[in-house]
Chain A
Amino acid sequence: MQLKDQFRFVRQNMKKNKTRVFMTILATAMGCAFLIVLASVGFGLQKSVVKEITEQRVITQIDVHGKELNDQDGFRPLNETDIQLFEKVKDVKAVTRRKMLQQESTYIIGNYQESAQTYVTNFASEVKAGFELSEGRLPKGKDEIVVGYNFSLNLASKDAPGDIYDKKGQIKAEYRYSGKLIGQKLELTVRQNKDGKQVEKTIPLTVVGITKKPTREWAEDRTVFIADEMLTEIENFTGTPKGLLLDENSEVPAEFKAQDNSYDEVKIYAKNMEAVQSISDKLTEKKYGTYSVVNELKEVNMVFMIAKAGLIFIGTIAILIASIGIYNTMTMAVTERAPDIGIMKAIGANPKTIKRIFLLESSYIGLIGALIGTVVSYGISYTVNFAIPLIIKQAFGKETQIDLIFSDIPLILPLICIVICFGVTIISGFRPAQRATKVDVLKAMRREV
């Protein structure tokens, strides 16, 4: 019997009891939609979390926060020797290292002031890692500095009244410094407690460059990079490494520790994403404490993998329940059609063919159910993604975090669902199909019409 004819038989048979077939398809579709929508939440949240992680940071970046001490707990800070070692590791593109001024530093331009984080960095490695300026040039002299892209946004007028911030939390334009920055002279004030009283020192500096705009919209770059020699000068004033501000009552320590030339922020940039893993493996082997997005993603993905498997499992139960309907429908179909099956067998229909027709019918029901379920679940998914932020906004009066995806249906999900559904329907249709082949010809033909 040709496959085409088998399909025709199946369609004719299904037409004989449209309502029953429809209800069975409906149940299967609901089971599938349930599975897909349920699992889609897992996929959606994973996507959101992964997006969040990868947007916060550069994916090829590895943070190294220290080297494990042999016999004690804890890490020691990294120094030049470590950096040289990192630079030799395979597939490392750049190693940036920054020292941070260990006190709040205030910058003043005329009547405007701002406190910012102050760093010393190795610009050559920063540039290799992708550092760029939007204006000006890199510093050459001791008193030249580069400021962050958003530095001027926070330069506020000294004699502004109490509330200088607007609704978005930014300084109102009328109190903000609006002049140009490049070539501008400004003053950095550093402090130290000496003999129980605070002394200040102002250092004149010149802005020569502004960093490029941060890629993330919400990010604000207001760092200031000063020259290495300038940090030494500050250290000489404070008498502490990296300008550490001492307590009011404590003395400047006797041993001057400026030679503690350790870095506060060391980041390794890998040539590509694939290399991140091997680099961080190598560093871990050498007892360096590292952190990278790739590591975190691996853990996050693992957790979501388990969660998604669980959700799919729960969804499968819904399909299994639907399969009882398929079993029922097929059993009834076999019973109803027993006389026809008997006649077909009498004139020479092969039992295998009869079985195939019934299996075809149950898998057809399963497949249509799965397809309808898939279409419906895409609809539900879109609605959910559209409606939930609105509901949250209504309920809490504020917007949700930037594009949180509640439900995401990657192509693999309907495929998984269709495979599960197909398998389940074949299994549930198997017994009825088997029964169809066992129909007794004589018993079936004995009906008198």
Chain B
Amino acid sequence: MAHAFPYTEIACPCTLNVSAADSARRTSVSVPQATDDDEEQTFNPHSPRANFSLYSPNDLLYCDDCHTIRCPRCWIEEIQVWYCPSCLFEIPGSAVKSDAEPAQLAGPFIQTCPYCSWTSLDAGIQFATSNHISDQLLKLRKPRSQEQNSDEAGVKAIVQGQDAPPILTLSHEAHFSNLTSFYKTLLNDAPTLNPYAVFAASPGASAYSSPSNLARIITMYSASPSKNPQKKVLPLREALTSAEGLALLPPPASLGSETEIIARMRETGYFDTASLEQQREAPINYEKRFHLGKDALWPVATLLRTRRTRRCSTCRHILSKPETKQGITKYRIKLLASEHILRFMLRPLNLPLISASGLLKPHSTILYVLVVRNPLFNPVKVTLATPSTTPGKVESRVTILCPDFTVGASGEGVGNEVWDDALRSSTSSSRQTSSALSASGHEGRHTSGVGFEDRVPEAGKVWERGRNWVSVVLEIVPGSLNPPSIPLSFETLSIRQDQSGTANAVPGAMREDSETIGEDDEEAVLKIPVLVRMEWDADAGAEGPEAGHKGEVAKEKRELAFWSVFCIGRIGA
């Protein structure tokens, strides 16, 4: 989803297996040494796989049993409630698959679209009652598909004449049932060859439920060559004829030839044609080209929405549980990652260095302030590590001036904190909101804090410090989108060699085949991977037996490491 720069994302540790102990050795100054282990290498936010492991901190949960971050890939969901997205009526689980709607009024009904003024009358559809719409649609559809289908025997006869091209007059339903039976016979013929046969044989039952199934699956996945060489492994084939469920494009003759379609478009105009998006919405509409007439788009049922409980997939601990009362959207339980791990916020130290276009200038140093906020009730020792040049096609240089520091504990009551901060911000406030205002089209004058401009950031020193937050300065030199084919300087070259120690990582060699990167390219976004390591003494199990008197709570060492990505902005050409 589109964010306003700068923003931060977090890679869930479940996707990377970061070991906390290993990260201890890495700092921004000493570049991490390349290891044999792939998983220990620098996280590349530009790699296609990164898309699947990066999350906004607010979208992550935390398992306080496993003491780690949990993401959609490592939590499991249980549906608690189904409800209609339009009337918000909750549907009991038993009735979900039937057509259960509360309203029941008499009279003919039609469906209308308030956006484009389409009505179901355009497709010749009218309803007797306002409920059981799906059932009514199905009944309305049956005579149509039969009419389309002439009769099934006839279709088969045509298909079996091998020479003639198969004439596809099958309805969507007929296609579907043909394809289903084709796959069923295919799997029944060769049950030992295919693990999916298990699923086909016993729908709904677990594939792993019977020992023989399990054994079959294990054979499938074991690397050893076939134990029965006499049995030839036949590859699964796809449907070849329309009797088997094959559907061919261009669309069937019954829908009219291409020229007919063009003629009709000329007559009715562009707005009567169905968009690709509408066609893709459901298989039933794949071949529908128009909004009107008997071959028009067919209404598709609205899917119900759900409210779900989320559990840790490792220990089954509940991570979030919505309130069960109807209409209440709050949560009874929610373990947010943002309340258990450090929170980051970035802002430029000196704004003018960003050009009017909002793009970052290559090769000109910019300074960013990183505010690290601690939500925990104990002080946290923080280590930040980043490669000195960003991974990806554009190599920007990054230095965290103070990668090691301790952040104080969050206050007992939230109220205290708010007051503290309110007092603090009353003196120099407008800073953090200027971006919000400019986002809303308001010409926010950027006033940096009192006297801040005169201060020079120093290596090894934190920039500012509050009770439960610390800010440090990042020095960033954005790389060029179109680097020369030879390294810019010996300095960059030596850094590359330092980092990987292998010859093929020399920039000149890498860039030989590199295409130029446009400003709109994903690689043009300056993304800084930072390995974050937090260490703290936690109050050992609150539920444990008397941990002594007040003030003598037993402590327990904890640590957590994860990759975070700071997305600074787009680099200009």
Query: Are A and B physically bound partners?
Result: no
The residues of B with any CB-CB pair to A shorter than 8 Å are none
